[in-house]
Amino acid sequence: MKLLDESAVLAGYLIAAVLFILALKGLSSPRRARRANRLGAAGAIVAIAVYVLGHDIANAAWIAGAVLVGILVAVPAARRVQMTQMPQLVAAFNGVGGGAAALVAVVEFTHGPDGWARSVIAFTVFIGGLSLTGSFVTFGKLQGIITSRAVMFPGLGVLLAVLVAGAVASAVAMVLTGSMLYAIVLLALGLVVGVLFVLPIGGADVPIVISLLNAFTGLAVAGSGLVLSNVLLLIAGTLVGASGTILTVSMATAMGRSVPGIVFGAFRSTSSGGVDAGGPDRPVRTVSAADVAILLEYSSRIVIVPGYGLAVAQAHHAAAELAEILTARGADVVFGIHPVAGRMPGHMNVLLAEANVPYESLVEMDVVNGQFKSTDLVLVIGANDVVNPAAQSSPGSPIYGMPILHVAEAQQVIFLKRSLKPGFAGIENELFFDPKVSIALGDAKATLSELLTAVKAGV
């Protein structure tokens, strides 16, 4: 039984849409991000409540059961996930959203829509299917289930072109004939294209692809809104698509590359651009935690550069404590933040905020790069690609053109690394062999604990 008339439903949709917009605006600032998330959640609750109260719903028990299952799966997953695994969670949720939009479109196709609606359904089915499998491939790359390197094989470009052409032909046939067979073929092609679309993307570019796929999911949801004549679904999908597109372009710009270059770069024959690991003829200089403590003791300006290794080791609290102690002793300590450090934008900001690092101590790349020449010591914790000079000196490198933190300009550079293995981009860091660079090998959290003990003891 309907409890709200059409005008009340539209008013509720308007309130939900405003809450969604305010949520997106708030997410632009770490200070407002928690409140923004709550606004977004409130908008979703309003949207669901208004729809339920304003429509005669068939199969309400099935819908309620599906919602309950979703809650039972999503709430524990969101609460238990480590910050290091947040990008994987985002990729998985994004894929589920795209898949849901595709399935809704397929179901709506069974109701015999007209030609215009069929064309929208065709678009939604293909893009939603692509987003589903593409997002789960990015999940696999980030989780280590699939190699993070670009996966190529002879004829991949031709195969992708044939599949996309087949998808276009299936979509046209689906619109003209109204046959469910073509809808199923189109969905299958979207699923296959999603896998082949992401496999050639190298590890360093996976975060950008996640953002791009997020934009695709938004477009699929917007398409579902058109098919279902649901204004709020159209608005929400458009917001997601637009914000995902803006974020994708911003991330690509931060890496000094274009989106087409990232997506299709693997189809050009390039070398890895890496260097050989250190050997007898190229030794690296290693130091102990006590040695690092002595260097810190004589440093008045210190920049800490966090990376994914810090997140994996859960060493952000120790890094925050170290910065606090050094600051109390009179040192000028800041954290240099690269826009794509970690596995997604803002990853390091959120981690350090969790460790109660003052927001004023987080200095963005454009600012901190002008300060390295006057910096006594840079402590790089678990970062590699974002400080790798290959981005500027090796045209064949997969990260060539990406702006980096110019840590080499400082007087001393200390890396805290588990090993000398290449970073996520799969290339070695030439900086390891610089005479001013020293490396403390070991788990970042354990090394920082030793370092804290030594610093507190006044070593």
> Which two structure tokens, joined as six digits, stand for 351?
């981690």
What pLDDT score does 423 carry?
67
User: Residue holding tokens 């935690």?
Assistant: 289
> Which two structure tokens, joined as six digits, stand for 297?
């003791």
Other CB atoms within a 10 A radius of the CB of residue 282 amount to 12
Write the CA distances from 413 to 177, 232, 282, 387, 409, integer angstroms.
66, 52, 18, 11, 9
What pLDDT score does 33 carry?
81
What pLDDT score does 276 carry?
40
Coil vs helix vs strand at 306: strand
What pLDDT score does 260 carry?
83
At 35, the amino acid letter reads: R
At 455, the amino acid letter reads: V
Structural domain spans, the chain = 1-80, 88-267, 289-456
Q: Please provide the distance, in angstroms rounded to a whole number, between the alpha carbons at the two ends of the chain.
A: 75
Cβ atoms of 137 and 195 within 8 Å: the answer is: yes
Q: Determine which one of 281, 385, 434, 443 is catalytic.
A: 385
Cβ atoms of 221 and 197 within 8 Å: the answer is: no
Each residue's pLDDT expressed in tens, for the chain with a length of 459 residues:
678 888 999 999 999 999 999 999 988 776 788 899 999 999 999 999 998 888 888 788 888 899 899 899 888 888 888 766 777 888 898 999 999 999 999 999 998 888 889 999 999 999 999 999 999 999 998 887 888 777 888 889 899 999 999 999 999 999 999 999 999 999 999 999 999 999 988 766 787 888 899 999 999 999 999 988 888 999 999 999 999 999 888 877 766 667 887 787 666 644 333 434 444 455 788 999 999 999 999 999 999 999 888 887 888 999 999 999 999 999 999 999 988 777 677 778 888 888 889 888 999 998 999 999 999 999 999 888 889 888 888 777 777 778 889 999 999 999 998 877 776 666 778 888 888 999 998 888 899 999 999 998 875
What pLDDT score does 280 carry?
41
What pLDDT score does 222 carry?
94
Instruction: Name the phi and psi angles at 385, rounded to 5.
Output: -60, -35
What is the reported pTM?
0.75
The answer as to CATH 3.40.50.1220 being correct for domain 289-456 is yes
What pLDDT score does 425 carry?
62
385: annotated active-site residue: yes
Cβ atoms of 201 and 266 within 8 Å: the answer is: yes
At 360, the amino acid letter reads: E
What pLDDT score does 212 carry?
92
Helix ranges (H only) for 371-412 are: 390-393
Q: How many helices (H) and strands (E) does the chain have?
A: 17, 6
**String of b and e for 64-95 (b: at least 16 CB within 10 Å)?**
eeeeeeeeeeeeeeeeeeebbbbbbbbbbbbb
Cβ atoms of 231 and 108 within 8 Å: the answer is: no
Coil vs helix vs strand at 345: coil
